[in-house]
Structure 1
């Protein structure tokens, strides 16, 4: 048996603090070291010191997924501690070259968002706003990559469950000895993680179908025996499976709500118009998350054969299938 400890690290993002977990075995393992900011570094250093450790004691740095509030400070920590960095193989290109990945996404999504009915000036705003956030991450090359079903023995045994959807390369770590799963942002106690659109691993010309992928990953995690979840934000999940069921139900309810907003005859509607109707007060900083939400639920309806699409002047509109 081991003990699970949490250090809450501040982030410059609206989501608030990120949870950094410690597995203090013979090899001190850190899960998600937070963003690359002075405040997060100091909080991690202080948290380790309060628990009788120093940065140099860290032997392993595990990354749940390649979002900067979780991995941004991994390289600095690994360099200072001479620690190994471990992540899923699909996360590597985003960890090694996060700025290049962001630029590829900007290029791809410019055309895609225009096809969803978004005006040019709005597209430019949505795709340039995140540029200021790139300072909160440093490129890092994992020393070891893991795959679905792989077992890690780091002085404590962790089983890896590949859970793409919220992010490419998302992985949950099962700690069977503690009846626990470290879920990253795949399952959270108070919010439903947005399956944000991105490009496919190894591709810069095709997007993910993030929400259908996310729901499939939730169904997969439902089958694990462990019942306690430790998410990347918020408090412990006392019933992991119950929260998974709630999250799945939320998305299907929203899918039906959005279906009710779609006309059953031409000229139809665009994803951008649906976003403005569903989220009329959405700030520009949340625009890409908002359009990802709409496109994801349209993907679900599309998979069920409930939509017909037509394109005019490069803009796609949908109607309910007859």
Structure 2
């Protein structure tokens, strides 16, 4: 695509490098600059210099979603350039106070994970483990709050597609005239994004139903019929529609596997299912693991295929036998 460059920014996370995109035709626009590390900043500066720019020349910073490997460096770039920051309206709170948002999530998810059957000592470990990683993000003020259908001229018109699920406030940017979608982490070429549990936008006492929401957002990608994608990680996605379909199929198959596990162990808790599915999962991955299992249980609940009971503050799942009569 003329006037667009993809650069690979290092991150301290297991996912590896993050893709940052430069648009150079209508001023200088940076999409997803990477985490707030010196290594990320230096790599971005070297890349900008190759095209005759520096960070002080940036006019716009576009953010696909409020995860630190994508937005963490934005604050520093804005301080150097006075660039305008664009993000979805549902991402604004987390971007403006990421540490405060994380602390609110810790407060909410402690009793929630207990209610999903996770032991207290494991809950404490799971919620405290991410604390050292919070340093890779700085608060950034969004100057332009975006919503579905908004457009931005970066030398090519980008149309906003709201795609919550992997994160609240997730946005894909469509260059329709080019047949291209800048997909963030909504669709990735080689891995399946985890629809992480988080607080519902604007709430301190309600969680997202991330996986059902994510699948709805994937179907919106299919509706666009855009053939080509640039994701937040990995190589370009040459068959975007096929990859979106593969991701939907993956989750439908995983849902059926979890239904079988519920049937084999009922009544059971989300934590017991997670341990059965991922017996060697390290504590660092248990929150994504719980998000995965609870997301599929949410799908089964939406299909009226499970019955949920509660005793001693813990929720347990059984298959609804009436569905199988």
Verify same fold: TM over 0.5.
yes
Query: TM class by shorter-chain length?
Result: over 0.9
Measure, in 1, the Cα distance between the counterparts of 2:217 and 2:166: 10
Q: Is the 8 A contact 1:2 1:24 kept in 2?
A: no
Deviation at 1:179, TM superposition (A): 1.4
Which residue number corresponds to residue 276 of structure 2? 277
Q: CA deviation at 1:72?
A: 0.4
Q: TM-score with structure 2 length normalisation?
A: 0.97
- Conserved in 1, the CA contact under 8 Å of 2:8 and 2:19? yes
- Output the CA distance in 1 between the equivalents of 2:3 and 2:253: 38
Alpha-carbon distance in 1 for matches of 2:3, 2:223: 24
RMSD over equivalenced CA pairs, Å: 1.1
The alpha-carbon deviation at position 310 of structure 1 amounts to: 0.9
Q: Which runs of 5+ in 1 are unaligned?
A: none
The answer to which of 135-144 and 52-61 deviates more is 52-61
Q: Which residue of 2 aligns with 1:226?
A: 226
Do the aligned partners of residues 317 and 77 (structure 1) sit closer, same or farther apart at CA in structure 2, a change above 3 Å counting? same
Q: CA deviation at 1:4?
A: 2.3
What are the ranges of 5 or more consecutive residues in structure 2 without an aligned counterpart? none
- Give the structure 2 partner of residue 238 of structure 1: 238
The Cα offsets for residues 248-275 of structure 1, whole Å up to 9 and x where unpaired, read as 0000000001111113785x00000000
Q: Which position in structure 2 is the counterpart of 1:170?
A: 170
How far residue 158 of structure 1 moved from its aligned partner, in angstroms, is 0.6
What is the rounded CA distance, in whole Å, between the counterparts of 2:68 and 2:137 in structure 1? 6
Task: Please show how residues 86-235 of structure 1 align to structure 2 within 5 Å.
Answer: 86-235=86-235
Aligned length: 321
Secondary structure of 1:318's counterpart equals strand
Aligned to 1:262, what secondary structure does the other structure show? helix
Q: CA deviation at 1:60?
A: 0.6
Normalised by the length of structure 1, the TM-score is: 0.98
* CA displacement, residues 55-111 of structure 1 (integer Å, 9 cap, x when unaligned): 122111000000000000101011112211100000000000111110110010000
Match of 1:14 in 2: 14
Deviation (angstroms), 1:307: 0.2
